[in-house]
Amino acid sequence: MRKALVLGCLIAWPALAAAQDAETRYFTSIDGLMDGNADVILKEVRSGRAVTAAVLDVCYPAAPGAHRNERFVVDLTASGQTLAGSGQTIGDKLPVTVKLTRRMVDGRYDFSGQISVGQTALQVSSTDNADMSEAEFKETRSPDSEIAASPPDFTEVSPEAIAVRVRLDAVPAFLAGLKGQDVEVDYASLVASCDELRAGEQVLAMSVDPERAPTLLARLKSAPGVVASGWTSGRFDLERTIRFAEEGWRTGERIDRARIATTVADTLKRALKAQTATTTWNEALGRMSVTLKRDNPIVAGLGLTETLTATVIVAPDRPANARHLLLWIERFSSLTSDEATPALRLAETQNLDEEGAAPIDDGGSLDALAAAFKAQRWDIEREAWK
């Protein structure tokens, strides 16, 4: 009996040792694929230095300049220094074949060979690649886009910006359901990133009227394929936001947009020394456009007019039980023209207060608005309203 037990241990020991020696390593860059635009992950399972299994995951633009990513995942069989396998792309179902040779040189790795996608053959020649452990690989992964289902207030996320995480197979139907709705979808979010393709879920970002956001989110939460929904980062920059008590600025349950528009226009007209100030509300999206006109004295007596425009959004300061309102105003854009007849034709050199451009004198507009609304400004150092 004892001999049988010893013999059993001796037989089991090699398999146990092999399992203990198994290690997973990753490569996250193999140069040259898809004109250098590929996001590559090569996962290797090793026993000592020998590769026992591998998976090549390649994500890349579906076509040069295309706003759509394609991907293939191929299991590779290891035979000495050769890794080979076949499969197909996930979106267009094109056949894929892979044959790579790997060599270790001074602790780094060289890859050569060929990858064929459809009728296109790609030559691989990549040297001096470093591998990493599973823990190191996880640290390199991009964090999920921030979606706050129930934020305590709108200091970390923006009241007009919402997002939903949707299963990839449900994205087309979800977007079709938004047609004709009072919601603006961020075009950039329509492109599923490589991380999203690998996760099987896509984050779609939208802008809505802040007063309608809670109701809309409640409805979208139950839509087929939605796995998460909430607020996210958006337009609101707290340095350009004021907070004031909502008393007197509501008509029933609704924000009094007419009174706010009049106050904003009158305040900015004085602060910017403008001759005219007009406002227009986009009722569907809860945004107000403000346009001001003032003299541009760049050439004395020429009579040029500077037109300043900005978007204003007013919102509750928290999703529920708000007692204050937030007013955010974007940085002014400026366009100078000659509105006289006959007019001097000027090239449209719009000043957006960008780096390298002369800053637009906003006349202390934010301080003026804070005074008009008896509002607070954001203290950057203390990260609190002051």
Q: Of the candidates 234, 238, 241, which has an alpha carbon nearest to the alpha carbon of residue 285?
A: 234
**What residue ranges do the domains of the chain occupy?**
21-140, 161-231, 238-385
Could you tell me the two tokens for 63?
Answer: 């076509």
Cβ atoms of residues 299 and 339 within 8 Å: no
DSSP letter for each residue of 95-147 = EEEEEEEEEEETTEEEEEEEEEETTEEEEEEEEEEPPEEHHHHHHHSPPPPP-
CATH class of 21-140: mainly beta
d(CA 118, CA 356): 47
Instruction: Give the containing element (helix H, strand E) for 198.
Output: helix 194-199
Rounded Cα distance between 250 and 235, Å, is: 23
Please check whether the domain covering 161-231 is classified as CATH 3.40.50.620: no
How many angstroms separate the CA atoms of 111 and 82, rounded? 10
Are the C-beta atoms of 268 and 292 separated by less than 8 Å? yes
Q: Which of 27, 32, 37, 36 is nearest to 76 (CA)?
A: 27
- pLDDT by position in tens, the chain (length 386): 444 434 443 344 344 444 457 899 999 988 877 778 899 999 999 999 899 999 999 999 998 878 899 999 999 999 999 999 999 999 999 999 999 999 999 989 999 999 999 999 999 999 999 999 999 999 888 666 689 999 999 999 999 999 999 999 999 999 999 999 999 999 999 999 999 999 999 999 999 999 999 999 999 999 999 999 999 999 999 999 999 999 999 999 999 999 999 999 999 999 999 999 999 999 999 999 999 999 999 999 899 999 999 999 999 999 999 999 999 999 999 999 999 999 999 987 655 455 545 567 788 999 999 999 999 999 999 999 99
Instruction: Indicate the residue type of 245.
Output: A
Cis peptide before 342 (omega within 30 of 0): yes
Helix, strand, or coil here: 324? Answer: strand
